């Protein structure tokens, strides 16, 4: 099971990924969590990326790709993974294709979580994370629409769309249906 989770910030990708990770026994790899963990530990990567996260900007591709590549090379990812928050650009998608080719692996499916921007803003303000001010959230949504949504065309042949509005269990059920695993 090698899945990508796409969707705007605040669509609940992380929550759904955690449920899928438990169900399928493959690691949930969130690049946002990896960055936040490095920032909390004040590693060189954390120090180099803190400002980007605070401003809601994308971290430069080289740093992001290297971090993700290292994570995908860890043994627990050899039988599958749920990649949450990567790729976010076509450049990153091309880098992922190279990494997977190097590993002799392929992607099974891409899940798109669909939700309206205004609902995202309301959800994220309620969540109250450090990078969750309304200005930063709107900025992140703009980046999502401009840079990340083109990936839906890029992966059109293997993308399933899930309505991300509703409670966690209902969205989980829809997700399983969309990948034929219910
Ligand atoms: P997330 O937890 O996925 O919403 O990511 C939080 C923040 O981490 C983003 O706003 C970016 O600053 C950074 N980030 C996470 N994934 C990526 C990525 N694939 N490319 C660049 N920046 C990223």
Q: What is the pTM of this model?
A: 0.94
Q: Quote the ligand 1 centre to 52 CA distance (angstroms).
A: 9
Please give the pLDDT value at position 128.
76
pLDDT of residue 139: 94
Percent of the chain at pLDDT exceeding 70: 100
User: Using CA of residue 89, residue 91, residue 95, residue 97, what is the dihedral sign?
Assistant: positive
What pLDDT sits at residue 153?
Answer: 96
For ligand 1, the distance from its centroid to the CA atom of residue 98, given in whole angstroms, is 20
**Residue minimizing CA distance to atom 8 of ligand 1:** 32
Residue ranges in the chain modelled with pLDDT below 70 = none
pLDDT in tens, 56-104: 999 999 999 999 999 999 999 999 999 999 999 999 999 999 999 999 9
Minimum-distance ligand 1 atom for the alpha carbon of 68: 19
Give residue 167 CA to ligand 1 midpoint distance, Å.
24
């Amino acid at each position: 099971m090698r899945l990508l989770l796409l969707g705007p910030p605040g669509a609940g990708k992380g929550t759904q990924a955690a449920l899928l990770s438990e169900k399928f026994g493959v690691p949930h790899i969130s690049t946002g969590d990896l960055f936040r963990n490095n920032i909390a530990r004040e590693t060189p990567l954390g120090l180099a990326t803190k400002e980007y996260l605070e401003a809601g900007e994308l971290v430069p591709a080289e740093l992001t790709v290297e971090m993700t590549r290292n994570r995908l090379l860890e043994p627990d990812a050899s039988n599958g993974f749920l990649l949450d928050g990567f790729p976010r650009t076509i450049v990153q998608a091309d880098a992922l294709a190279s990494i997977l080719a190097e590993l002799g692996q392929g992607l099974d499916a891409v899940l798109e979580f669909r939700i309206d921007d205004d609902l995202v803003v309301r959800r994220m303000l309620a969540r109250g994370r450090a990078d969750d001010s309304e200005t930063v959230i709107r900025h992140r949504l703009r980046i999502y629409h401009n840079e990340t949504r083109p990936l839906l065309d890029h992966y059109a042949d293997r993308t399933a769309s899930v309505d991300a509005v509703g409670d966690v269990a209902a969205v989980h059920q829809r997700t399983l249906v969309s990948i034929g695993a219910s």
